[in-house]
Structure formats: C-alpha cells, structure tokens
Amino acid sequence: MSKKEEPKQPGKYGVDLGERGIYDTRNKLNELTGKEWVYFTNSVWITGYSPTARENVGLKYRKIHPSPKPPALLKEIIEFFTKSGGKVLDPFAGVGGTLLGAALAGGGREAVGVELEQKYIDAYRKVCEKENIQEMTMLRDDARNLLAHPEVSDTVFDLVVADPPYSDMMAKERTGQRKKLYKDSSPMPYTDQDCDLGNMALEDFYEALRDIMGKCFTRLKPKGYMVIFCKDFQPQPGAPNLLHADIVRELGEIPGLVYRGMRIWHDQAMSLYPFGYPYSFVMNQIHQYILIFRKEV
C-alpha cells in the first residue's frame, strides 16, 4: 500500500501496530493490519521455498506424496481467512499442508483433515512428531462420508480449504513430470482406490466434488470462506480444458456459495520441461488457481 493510501493516524477504530501498520477493530475476518490485508489481495502470488526451509517443514517425509502444498502458503491463507481460535476443514488433506499451516499460524487455530490413504496420514504424523508441531485431527475416510464424523458434524468451521485431485485427467497426464519432481512419490496419482477423485471420469468427478464441497458447506459458518486449489490441463482439440472455470461453474450449483475471485499461485520451485519441443507449443503450467468462494447466507 502506498503512503498515500495508508492512513497515518489510527483514527477512531485503528490500533497502531508499529511496523505492521494499523489494525482496524471493526475487522471481523482476520487479525491483519490494513497493509497486510491489501498485500494478500494481490492476484498473483509467487513462492519459491527452498526444500529445506522452515516454510517447507518436513518435506523429506511429505514428498512421498505427488503434490504436497507448502505449509507456509496455507499458513498465509489461514491467517487471512480466520482469526485466532478459528477452525479449518480440509476434505482432501494429503500429507497435511493445511493442518501444518494451521499449526504454524498458531493462535489456537485448529484444523480437521480427511484423507483416504493411510501412508499420507502417517507421513503427516511423522512430520508433527519429528518437527515438534502440534498434531491436528486427521480422519481416514472417503470425504463423501465426512459428516459421519463428529469431529466434522459437531463443529462450525470458519474456513474450508480443498486441494482435490482432478479426475482421471491427472492419471493420464504428466505422470512422468511428477515422477521427476519427487522420485519417491507414488506412480499413480494418489491412490488406486475407485473412490479417489483422481481416478474418476470427469462427470463422476464433478458429481463427487459437488457432493463433498456441498457437505463442507453445511459445516461452514455464514460468511465463511471456501478456498479451492485447481490447475488447468493441457488444451485438446475440442476441449480447452479450462478446469478452473468449470470448477467455478460446478460449485456455483451449491445454493448460497458465491465465487469471490482468485489468486494465481506461481510456484518457483517448479521446473520447466521440453514438452512438445521442437514441434509444437505445449505449455509448462507452473501456476495454480486458488479459487475463493464465500457462504453468502
């Protein structure tokens, strides 16, 4: 924020937090100052955490997973969309990027994750143990059953974060690239189970995603946010594969859930590969969409 935009005096509702800027006591969403808030709203987000940095805590255990998210990225998301004591739900928890992010955010925030695959849950727990990080609730189940768990059905969540697998397109594409990224990771997208959304045909995938996100929606507080990671796929003749736009359309069918915008995350740790070279253009997609929805009831 420029000096011009930042109020110099705290004013009636402001609390001066020094270098951090001015906190507005009317802020119902988070504990950020004005300048921290505005910084987060930048539509492009660039990260390049080194594999050994604290921000990437426990990567040596988490890299058995094909696409673990940096806990520091989730920490920032959680700090923007919750206050201290906030509760976060992740229906596709993997090796716990969101749960670790909640622990790093601190302030008594808590997270509940649901994950199909035991080995990913074990890796998450190992990170907590080895790195002395608060362990959150991780449930092993198909996320379509998440309301059967009292940890979910008895809680009102401030934020839902979802990083779903994207239908069997994922299984068909880029497996070679992913193997190169994390040589210890599983060769299949995530699991070999039929209820893994990564193994479903597109229409079944959309239905399962709407079902799961609709169930999460019932546990989200009014005006609470839902944040969904998504990557497009390579355009094909007759199929532009703008998956992020399709996800916005599909989740728009959940009454009361409204799309509010996106951030594009550029992960500088991604390598470039010579797909298509030297014959045709094939994109190296090194960004992901972070789609942001709100419960408008």
Ligand X SMILES: C[S@@+](CC[C@H](N)C(=O)[O-])C[C@H]1O[C@@H](n2cnc3c(N)ncnc32)[C@H](O)[C@@H]1O
Angle between helices 97-105 and 71-81 (to 10 degrees): 60
Whole-angstrom CA distances from 110 to 84, 106, 219 are 9, 8, 15
The gap between the terminal CA atoms of the chain, to the nearest Å, is 31
Q: Which of 36, 76, 110, 142 binds ligand X (CB under 6 A)?
A: 142
Nearest to 99 by CA among 131, 125, 66: 125
- Please report whether residue 165 would count as binding ligand X according to CB under 6 A: yes
- Please report whether residue 123 would count as binding ligand X according to CB under 6 A: no
- Please report whether residue 103 would count as binding ligand X according to CB under 6 A: no
- Please report whether residue 115 would count as binding ligand X according to CB under 6 A: yes
Q: Which is nearer to ligand X, 121 or 254 (CB)?
A: 121
Q: Where are the beta strands (DSSP E) in the chain?
A: 14-16, 22-24, 44-47, 87-90, 110-115, 137-140, 157-162, 220-230, 257-267, 287-295
DSSP state of 231: -
- Please report whether residue 168 would count as binding ligand X according to CB under 6 A: no
- Please report whether residue 143 would count as binding ligand X according to CB under 6 A: yes
The residue count for binding ligand X (CB under 6 A) is 26
Fill in the amino acid letter for 283.
M
- Report d(CA 70, CA 176) in Å as an integer: 22
Closest separation between CB of residue 139 and ligand X, Å? Answer: 9
Q: Which of 22, 58, 65, 295 binds ligand X (CB under 6 A)?
A: 65
Evaluate whether 224 touches 160 at the Cβ level (below 8 Å).
yes
Q: Which is nearer to ligand X, 86 or 94 (CB)?
A: 94
- Please report whether residue 67 would count as binding ligand X according to CB under 6 A: yes
Q: Which is nearer to ligand X, 95 or 128 (CB)?
A: 95
Tell me which stretch binds ligand X (CB under 6 A): 15-23, 34-42, 163-171, 232-240: 163-171
Which residues lie near ligand X (CB under 6 A)? Answer: 65, 67-69, 92, 94-97, 114-117, 120, 142-144, 163-165, 190-191, 195-198
